[in-house]
Structure 1
Amino acid sequence: MSKKHDFAQSLQGLSEADLKVKIKEDEMRMKKLTFAHAIAPLENPQSIRALRRDIARLKTQLRKTQIGA
């Protein structure tokens, strides 16, 4: 399976509170990465894109749990 599919499968069993905590942690990591990239170029700038997409997947899963889908 793809990494995206594995990530989505790992989110299935998480509660709403767990998802919110994970979103907060990833958003802080995102801020740190973008700040570090502004100071000096990152070795792998694609990691910012991947993290941004993971945050979006987390928010989507949170919304699904909130509406009960």
Structure 2
Amino acid sequence: MMKTSEIKELTKKEILERIQLEDETLTRLNLNHAVSPLDNPMKIQVARRNIARLKTVLRQRELNENQK
């Protein structure tokens, strides 16, 4: 799980790459879970929350740039 403070240190490009990577992970987890139950289904929730954190920080930066 990524902390918000860790995400804020990343560049915009790194955040976009992380979002893509987490999205692929989430898709894979969901497909695997549909076929046979995962031994730890909380991984799906963690991946979704990581994506949300990344998108939130990205959006905050966009809003800050627009205000300046």
Q: How does the TM-score come out when normalised to structure 2?
A: 0.87
Instruction: Report SS of the residue matched to 2:48.
Output: helix
Aligned with 1:53 (options 44, 49, 56): 49
The amino acid that maps onto 1:9 is: S
Identity of matched residues, %? 31
Q: Show structure 1 runs of 5+ residues with no match.
A: none
Counterpart position of 1:43? 39
Runs of 4+ in 1 over 4 A off after TM superposition: none
Once the two structures are superposed, residues 3-46 of structure 1 have per-residue CA deviations (whole angstroms, 9 ceiling, x without a partner) of 6xx61110111111111110000000000000000001000001
| Partner residue, 1:26 | 22
* Count of residue correspondences: 65
Give the whole-Å Cα distance in 1 for the aligned partners of 2:62 and 2:11: 10
> Where does structure 2 lack aligned partners over 5 or more consecutive residues?
none
Deviation at 1:54, TM superposition (A): 0.9
